[in-house]
Chains A and B, each alone.
Chain A
C-alpha cells in the first residue's frame, strides 16, 4: 500500500488555486483575570498567548501535521481554524472569505466544509444518542436532512464508509456499546457526512491501543482518497506524523518553529527543538542507539514567555543572542544544587538570598546576597560556577559579573526573538540558521 497518497506538487510555489486556507499572523490570546487590585485599577492582567503569530498555507489535498508537546498551542490553533475559539488577531482566509471576526451566524454555513474529529472518542459522542441520530445530527442542524429515507440513506453511507458494517448492527447502538476504535470510526462518520473539504483531527489515535492506531490512520487515509479531504493532523506522536503527513509544522509555545515537507523534517531536522523531539521518540528496537541527550526542563508557562527565543532555556545549542535572563540563572542554580553533595549545597545556597528575586529581571540582573554575606562573595561564586560549567549555554549569554555592596550584578547579552525564515526547503525560526548570527553560534 502506498504510504503517501498523491504527493502534493503544491508544496513549492503554491499557486493560489492550490491554497485551501491561508493563515497569516494568527493570534489567539486568552486574557488572564488579574488580582483584585489590578481589576480595580485597570492594570494589565496579562494574557496566555496560546497561538502567537502563526503563518502558513494549507494546500488542497494535503495532510499538514501540527506537532508539539502539551502547551504548544497546537490544539488551540486547530480549533481556531474552524472558528471554535475566537482568534484575537491575524487572518484566516478560506474560499475568498475572512474567517477571523466572522459572526456565528455567518460562520455556520462554512462549518459544513470545515469539520473536526476530537481526541477522546469516549467524550465526543453524546451517550444518550444512538448512532443513527448522532451521525445524522449535523445534517439536521444544517437543514440538509431531507426526508427520513434520504437521511437514513446518508447515515448508512457514512457508516459503511468508515467500516461500521453491517450497518443494521450499528444504527441503533449507543456509544457505550462500542469499543474505543469503533467510537472513533463513528466520530469520523459524523465528521464526514456533510462531505467536508477540511477535517481537523486532534490526536484521533492517541487514546487508543497501539494495535488500533494503525487502523484509525488507515481509515483516515481511506476517507481522504474517497472524499478528497484535506487534513490538519494534530499530534504529539512523531511516528504517526511521519507516516501520515505530507508536511509538518513543529510548534513550541504558540509558534511554529519549523515547517516543511515531512521527509525533509525527519531526514534533516534544523531546529534544535525538532532534533530533541526526534531523539526522544522511544523506538521498539532495543538495539537502536538511543540518544541520552534530553533537553532539561519542561514547556514553560505561556503567560510568562521566556525572553528572546522561547526554547532557549532548554536548548543545548543556545548562545548569546537567544535571550538569557534572570530566571534562567535561578533555574541553573537550583538544578546545580540538586547535584552537589549535601554539605556543598548548604554552604553555597547560604550565600544567596531568595532566588525568586531573579524572576522577571532582564538585561542587568541583580543577585542579592543573603544577610551575613556580601555581593563580592556572590559574584566570586558565580564566576567560579561559570568557569566550571564550560559547556553550559547560559554563560554564553553573560557578558559581565560584577559586585556592588549587598548584591552581585550579572549582565546578560540582549536577546532577540527569531522569526520563521526560509532555510533551504523548510522554514525555521532559530538564530543558528540566521546568517547574521552565524559567526557567534557555537560549533556543532
Chain B
C-alpha cells in the first residue's frame, strides 16, 4: 500500500476550561490515502469538528494538541504556526459548513479567487489567475460568464460550489469538508455530493468528510470512522461497517437513523457524556445495551477484526485482558428521558 496522505496516531486535543481540561479528541489514530474519502460521524459534541480543525491548525487559543499527525511525511504537531499557515490552502484545504456566511458580500467572486491566488501563488499574473479560477469554477459547474458577480447573485448551492472551487483552485492534496451539505436542500445536497465524488476521481484528493448524516457517508465515503466522546470507536470500510457494525454504538446509531425503510422507531437512551468528566472504562457503557462488568472497569483497546474493521469494544476482546466475571452483564441504572440529549 502507498504511503497515506494523512496519518494520525494517538492524536489528542484538549481545551482548558474552568472545570479542567475538556478532552475533545482523546487518542485517535487513522489514515487517509490518495483519492480516498474517509467519513467521520457521531453525535454533536463527540469531537468530530475539533478533529477536523486540528488537522488544519485552526484550533482556538487555549487548545492544545499532542500525539502525531503526519501529512505526506511532515509532522504537523508542533509545527510553527507560520509554516502551517503556508500549508493551509495549497496542501490542506477546507470546505465549511455554511456557504452563506463564508463569502465576503462586498467582494466579487473574482476578487475572492485573486486574494487566494495572490497569497499562495504569487507571480501568476492577472491573466493566469483568471485562467486558473475559471477552470476551477467550470469544474464545479459555475459559468465563467459569472466570474465578476457578487456572492448575493448566487443561490445557496452555487455558493457552496464556489466555496469548493476556492478550495480546489490551489489543488490541495488533502481536504476537510465539515458538514458541507447541512444547510442545503435535498436535491442540492445530492448535486454537491455528486460533485465531491467527481473531484475525488478527477483530482485524487484525499478527503475527510465530517457529517452527522449516515446516509451521506454511505453515499460518498470509502471508509468511515465512528466517533464517540473523543475516541474513534469503530473504523473500517463503509460497506462493512454499515452492513455489519461491530461496535454497539455504531449499531445503535444506525438503528436510530430514520430512513425510507424505517418501520419502527429506535433511539439511544441518554446523552453523550461531558468530556471534562467522561465515564470510567468504556465511555459508552452507561448507554450501551450490551454493557458488561469489564466495561465500567477498564478502557477497551483497539482490536482489528477479520473483516478489516478496527473497533474498541470488550465484546471483541481481547479475552486475556478481561478480568474474571468481567463478561457478566452490567446492571445499569435506568436512564430517564430527563437525561437525554
Does B304 belong to the interface (CB within 8 Å)? no
Q: Which residues between 257 and 285 of chain B lie within 8 Å of chain A, taking CB atoms?
A: 257-268, 271
- A334 / chain B contacts, CB cutoff of 8 Å: 143, 145-146
A349 at the A/B interface (Cβ < 8 Å)? yes
Cα separation A337 to B194 with both chains bound (whole Å): 19
Instruction: Evaluate contact between B214 and A242: CB separation under 8 angstroms.
Output: no
Question: CB distance A163 to B267 under 8 Å?
Answer: no
Question: Which listed residue, A218, A282, A290, touches B267 by the CB 8 Å rule?
Answer: A218
What distance in Å separates the Cβ of B71 from its nearest Cβ neighbour in chain A? Answer: 28
B153-178 to A contact mask, C-beta < 8 Å, 1/0: 00111100000000000000000000
A219 to B43, CA, bound (A): 20
B148 shortest CB reach to chain A, Å: 13
CB pair B337 A163 closer than 8 Å: yes
Which listed residue (B158, B186, B263, B336) contacts A280, Cβ 8 A? B186
Is B265 touching A211 in the complex (CB atoms < 8 A)?
no
Q: Could you name 7 residue pairs across A and B whose Cβ atoms are closer than 8 Å?
A: A70-B156, A208-B341, A280-B189, A292-B194, A296-B191, A345-B144, A349-B145
Q: Give the distance to chain A from B259, nearest Cβ to Cβ, in Å.
A: 5
B30 sits at the interface (CB 8 A): no
B185 to A210, Cβ gap below 8 A? no
Among the stretches B18-26, B134-142, B315-323, the one at the interface with A is B134-142
In the complex, which residue of chain B has the Cβ closest to the Cβ of A217? Answer: B265
Q: Known A3-B263, A211-B267; judge A338-B194 contact (CB<8 A).
A: no
Please classify the interface of chain B as helix (H, G, I), strand (E, B), loop, or mixed, using the class held by over half of its residues.
helix
A416 → B minimal CB distance (Å): 25
* Other-chain residue from B141, B143, B194, B341 in contact with A179 (beta carbon distance below 8 A): B341
Kindly state the separation between the CA atoms of A247 and B224 in the bound complex, as whole angstroms. Answer: 36
A interface footprint on B233-265 (CB within 8 Å = 1, 0 otherwise)? 000001100110000000011101111111111
Chain B interface: which of A233-241, A368-376, A392-400? Answer: A233-241
Closest to A352 in B: B145
- Besides the known contacts A181-B341, A239-B262, A338-B137, 7 further A-B residue pairs in the complex with CB atoms under 8 A apart: A166-B338, A218-B267, A237-B258, A281-B215, A286-B239, A298-B155, A338-B142
Residue of A nearest to B43 (CB): A209
Q: Does B44 have its Cβ within 8 Å of any Cβ on chain A?
A: yes
Q: What 1/0 mask marks residues of chain B from 324 to 339 whose CB sits below 8 Å from any chain A CB?
A: 0000000000001110
In chain A, positions 161-215 with a C-beta closer than 8 Å to chain B are 163-166, 169-170, 179-182, 185, 208-215
* Interface check B9, CB cutoff 8 A: no
Q: Which residue of B lies closest to A169 (CB)?
A: B338
Pick the residue among B135, B146, B187, B340 that contacts A215 (CB under 8 A): B340
Interface residues, chain B, with chain A CB atoms under 8 Å away: 43-44, 131, 135, 137-138, 141-146, 155-158, 185-191, 193-194, 212-219, 238-239, 242-243, 252-254, 256-268, 271, 336-338, 340-341
Secondary structure class of chain A's binding surface, majority of residues: helix
Nearest residue in B to A280 (C-beta to C-beta)?
Answer: B190
Who on chain B is nearest to A284 by CB?
A: B214
State how many angstroms separate the Cβ of B128 from the closest Cβ of chain A: 13
Nearest-CB distance from A68 to chain B (Å)? 9
Q: How far, in whole Å, are A399 and B306 apart by their CA atoms in the complex?
A: 63
Residues of chain B within 8 A of A294, CB atoms compared: 187, 190-191, 194
Cβ-defined contact, B187 with A295, below 8 A: yes
Q: Closest CB-CB distance, A226 to chain B, in whole Å?
A: 15
Q: Which residues of A contact B217 (CB under 8 A)?
A: 284
A298 lies within 8 A of B188 (CB): yes
A355 to B66, CA, bound (A): 55
Q: Nearest Cβ distance between residue B210 and chain A, in whole angstroms?
A: 14
Contacts of B271 in A (CB 8 A): 179
